[in-house]
Every structure is written in C-alpha cells, then in structure tokens.
Chain A
Amino acid sequence: AQKVTQAQTEISVVEKEDVTLDCVYETRDTTYYLFWYKQPPSGELVFLIRRNSFDEQNEISGRYSWNFQKSTSSFNFTITASQVVDSAVYFCALEGETSGSRLTFGEGTQLTVNP
C-alpha cells in the first residue's frame, strides 16, 4: 500500500518569508515518482515538479526548491520570499511501479501568504 502524509494542514506566513511544506511518503516499490501540485482557489491542479526515486538531487526553479531524501522518505517543498500569489493548497503525490499510473495524493497543505 502507498501513503502520502502532509502533516501541516494550514500554514500562514507574511509576504517575503520563506516557507517549507513537508511531505512524507510510504511505499514498498523500488521505483516510484513523486510530485507536487498547486491548487489555487480556481480549483485546477497545477503541476509543479516530478521526481523519480533514483534522482536525489535537490532542484531549484526560481523561488521554488525541493529537497528529496530517501533515507527519511521525504520530499519537502520550499518557497523562498513568498508572495500573496503563492496562496493555494499544495499537494504532494506518489506514483509507484506497482500501482500503474495511479497517483496517491496527500491531504494537502493550505498556504496563506498575507501582505
């Protein structure tokens, strides 16, 4: 069975603060993919990143960065210098080799960035 846990239900920060969203996963698969999606108030899930289990290099894209650590089964997401437009629900998801292409999502973290 696969499971994704996002322990932070809600986070509130002030603009320009850095914020880290935690994601912990469980899987028995050796090969798997991890994802982050953003869901703004409009409702559409916006793809942010996809990472395979053999690539533990951290990734940076503008103000976004991701830290993948297999030893702790975590795939955390950091937003640097947060902006009001970053306010959304963020989902971490897992796709394992034994689940076909079914995505298992976490419960999401509601991020509110206040001006």
Chain B
Amino acid sequence: EAGVAQSPRYKIIEKRQSVAFWCNPISGHATLYWYQQILGQGPKLLIQFQNNGVVDDSQLPKDRFSAERLKGVDSTLKIQPAKLEDSAVYLCASSLGPSYPADTQYFGPGTRLTVL
C-alpha cells in the first residue's frame, strides 16, 4: 500500500514570495492533516480536512496561509507571502476515520521550506 506522498521535498524561496505544497493521502483515507514542524519542536496542526470540508483550521495563520482539498483526495497548502519564520518542515498526514477517536495518522516525508 502506497504511503502519503508529498512534493516538493525541499524548497528555498525569498521572503515575500509565494509557495505551494502538494499532498496525496493514502488511498481511501477520508481525513487529511497539514502540520508545521519548526526545527527542534514537535509538529503543530495547521488544518484538518474531512473529505473536502475543513474540520479544524483554528491554528492556521489565515492572513498568509491557505489550503484546499477540492475533490476530497489530494490537497494543496499555500503560503503567500512567506516570512522568515515560516521556515519549517510541512508534514501531511492522513487517517481513515472522520473524527475522534480517529484512526491512526500516517505521515508523509514532509517538505522542508527555507525562507531567505
């Protein structure tokens, strides 16, 4: 069974530029998550989708971050404009279940973003 796929794996941009990350979850998983992991810290949830609807985006900086999951499968996370403090690894995860207690979340390899 294929795991969670993410691209690109690495991205370097200048501050104030825009960037987008792509995630394809495990086949059949209804729930998709985006996490931000700053160096030396644990991952922090940015947004959670169930199918193509947003379940939780309370920690998403909505002035610059946006995400969509239009067809309930793959998802895109965008940052516009990027700031230096956005340098982090962006992890995508997916799970079968729709809500608590959700099935275990399985993570992709992440996208390492460096903002110069």
A interface residues with partner B (beta carbon < 8 Å): 4, 31, 33, 35, 37, 42-47, 50, 52, 91, 93, 95, 97, 99-103, 105-108
**B72 on the interface (CB 8 Å rule)?**
no
Q: Which residues of B contact A107 (CB under 8 A)?
A: 40-42
Q: How large is the interface on B (under 10, 10 to 19, 20 to 34, 35 or more residues)?
A: 20 to 34
Q: Which 4 A-B pairs have the closest CB atoms?
A: A105-B42, A101-B102, A45-B107, A44-B109
Residue contact B106 to A101, C-beta cutoff 8 Å: no
Which of B40, B42, B100, B107 is within 8 Å of A95, CB to CB?
B100
Contacts known (A45-B91, A100-B55, A102-B48); A95 close to B102, Cβ less than 8 A = yes
For A4, A50, A103, A105, the residue with the greatest tally of chain B CB atoms inside 10 Å of its CB is A103
9 contacts between A and B (CB under 8 A): A37-B107, A45-B91, A45-B107, A47-B104, A99-B100, A100-B48, A101-B101, A105-B43, A107-B41
What is the CB-to-nearest-CB distance from B16 to chain A, in angstroms, rounded to a whole number?
Answer: 26
Cα A4 to Cα B45 with chains together (Å): 15
Write the B9-53 contact mask toward A (1 if CB under 8 angstroms, else 0).
Answer: 000000000000000000000010000000011111100100000
Q: Which residues of B contact A35 (CB under 8 A)?
A: 104
What is the CB-to-nearest-CB distance from A41 to chain B, in angstroms, rounded to a whole number?
Answer: 11
Q: Which residue of A lies closest to B55 (CB)?
A: A100
Q: Which residues of A contact B95 (CB under 8 A)?
A: 101
What is the CB-to-nearest-CB distance from B86 to chain A, in angstroms, rounded to a whole number?
Answer: 17
